Amino acid sequence: MNSKLTQSQQRTICAQLRRVKLKLLYKASIHGFTGAAFHQRCDNRSPTVSVGYNNSGFVFGGYTKQPFSQSGQYVNDDQAFLFTFNGENLIKYPVTNPAYAVRMIANSGPYFGEDLVLVNGSQAVTYSNPGNYYNFPAAQMHGNDLNLTECEVYEVEESTELERPWRTVTWESKKRTELIENIKSYKPTVSSVTQTRVLLIGPVGAGKSSFFNSVNSVFRGHVTSQAISGSSSTSLTTQFRSYSVKAGREGKPLPIILCDTMGLEETKGAGLDIDDLSSILKGHLPDCYQFNPSAPLHPEAHGYRTSPGLKDKIHCVAYVIDASKVSIMPTGLEDKLDAIRRKVNLIGIPQLVLLTKVDEACPLVKEDVRNIYKSGYIKDVMQEVGSRLGVPLSCVVPVKNYSEELELDMNCDILLLSAVIQMLRFVDNYFDELSDRMSNMQTKD
């Protein structure tokens, strides 16, 4: 049975539900446009997504967590909603009176309140009467075309918990201390560099500034927010910033500098400019440089480093990606990331992915961050982001930034510190590669 919902539409629905995948139960063109055929295949299955299609090109339907039956009764569901697609975007209409969210009618398909019925009266038609228990504009929902060309019902398969974690993590305070000490005592293998520079790149709102704040918090011993972070549709970071993390309030600077950039945006001429990126990677950009998306940096700009040393260059690039948005990443953004990856590859800088907001993406992880490598869903997301950005799974590191917490959490700290250790390992690779190239050149001479 082939699904009529596109992969992109399925991913959009799954992102909305924070679940894994949709399994097709009923397809009217195969099983019949009848209430009997629908109930035979869908009764006692939940949660479900029901979808109607018409000749006018509308794709619309509803979600309920309640299993279908033929009791004739209304069923309470405070999470039910109706939806329609506008291009690839989902427009959602939540239930307004949960007690009447779904009705269990034998002679019809999915029956949402008294507002939207698919396969009504065992006919290939939609019944539409908004304003009872759901509010929606009929023209927006289905274009007032009530003849169905197809109706599908999908079961929503929950996030799977793996029997054993697929990466080993020691969740103990001793491990946290060990990671902190390893970072404090790290020394770059090149004597001219005292602090390694890691560049954070990612879409607006993915958590780049929050990652720095979170790592800083671990070493300060309490939650801090030095870098401006928050939720906004445009980048809150408008300058190029180099943040040095200190070991405690009066402590020495750590051997790592996190460089924060303007957020990437899908539209051209907005967000971080690819030409500015070259200047950053090569070490030309001064700290606090004010980005101008419509005009890349010129060598005449104030503070421009004309001949940067190795200590000024970027030694590792970390892409910061929101786990709950991987599946609905806009094409424009994916193209920009691909162009950046190619540019970084050419220069020979190692790259990894920091997967943020893992708790928002998976209920299992929200419950306990130690479930991070037990969540089948998070593993799927990590594999998907790896293939989209062209990096192996071993280069994808999940983290949970501090955003609303007031106190530190040992398990979050361990994930954050592990990510920093991974960055330092990648930096070592960069310096090793550099010294190999230097010795090869000397051998040729």
The one-digit pLDDT tens for each residue of the chain (445 residues) are 889 998 778 878 887 886 567 899 999 999 999 999 999 999 999 999 999 999 999 999 999 999 999 999 999 999 999 999 998 789 999 999 999 999 999 999 999 999 999 999 999 999 999 999 999 999 999 999 999 999 999 999 876 777 789 999 999 999 999 999 999 999 998 889 999 999 999 888 888 889 999 999 999 998 887 655 444 444 444 667 778 888 887 788 999 999 887 777 666 655 566 777 888 898 877 666 665 555 556 666 666 678 888 999 999 999 999 998 887 777 888 888 898 899 999 989 999 999 999 998 887 898 899 999 998 889 988 998 999 899 999 999 999 999 888 899 999 999 999 999 999 999 999 998 887 777 666 655 5
Residue 65 forms part of a structural domain: yes
Q: Do 229 and 351 belong to one domain? A: yes
Claim to verify: residue 261 and residue 369 sit in the same structural domain? yes
Tell me what pLDDT residue 247 has: 86
Whether residue 45 is found in the same domain as residue 153: yes
Do residues 196 and 188 touch, judged by C-beta distance below 8 A? yes
- CA 45 to CA 22: how far, in whole Å? 12
Statement to judge: residues 196 and 319 lie in one domain: yes
Could you tell me which residues come within 8 angstroms of residue 428 by beta carbon, excluding any fewer than 6 positions away? 188, 189
User: Do residue 58 and residue 117 come from a single domain?
Assistant: yes
The answer to whether residues 427 and 343 belong to one domain is yes
Distance, CA of 16 to CA of 25 (rounded, Å): 20
Specify the 3-state DSSP secondary structure of 144: coil
Instruction: Check whether residue 17 and residue 130 sit in a common domain.
Output: yes
- Fill in the DSSP letter of residue 242: E
Give 264's DSSP letter. B
Answer yes or no: is 285 within a domain.
yes
Residue holding tokens 């009929």?
Answer: 138
Strand order in the sheet with 396-398: 289-290, 239-246, 253-260, 196-201, 316-322, 351-356, 396-398
Task: Quick: pLDDT tens for 176-226.
Answer: 999 999 999 999 988 899 999 999 998 888 888 899 999 999 999 988 876
Judge if 150 and 177 occupy the same domain.
no
The model carries a pTM of 0.72
Domain count, the chain: 2
Neighbouring C-beta atoms of residue 170, cutoff 10 Å: 10
pLDDT at 234: 43
Q: How many CA atoms lie within 13 A of 387 on its CB side?
A: 6
H or E, element range at 439: helix 410-444
Query: Both 37 and 96 in a single domain?
Result: yes
Residue 264 lies in a domain: yes
- The pLDDT value recorded for residue 377 is 83
SS3 category, 127: strand
| Sign (positive or negative) of CA dihedral 340, 345, 347, 351 | positive
Amino acid at 352: L
**Residues 90 and 187 grouped into a single domain:** no
Q: Is residue 168 part of a domain?
A: no
In this structure, are 180 and 236 located in the same domain? yes
Query: What pLDDT sits at residue 168?
Result: 93
Task: Tell me how far the alpha carbon of residue 216 is from its chain's centroid.
Answer: 23
Strand order of the sheet with strand 21-27? 21-27, 148-157, 48-54, 59-64, 81-86, 89-94
Domain of 151 in residue numbering reads as 7-158
Per-residue model confidence (pLDDT) at position 360: 85
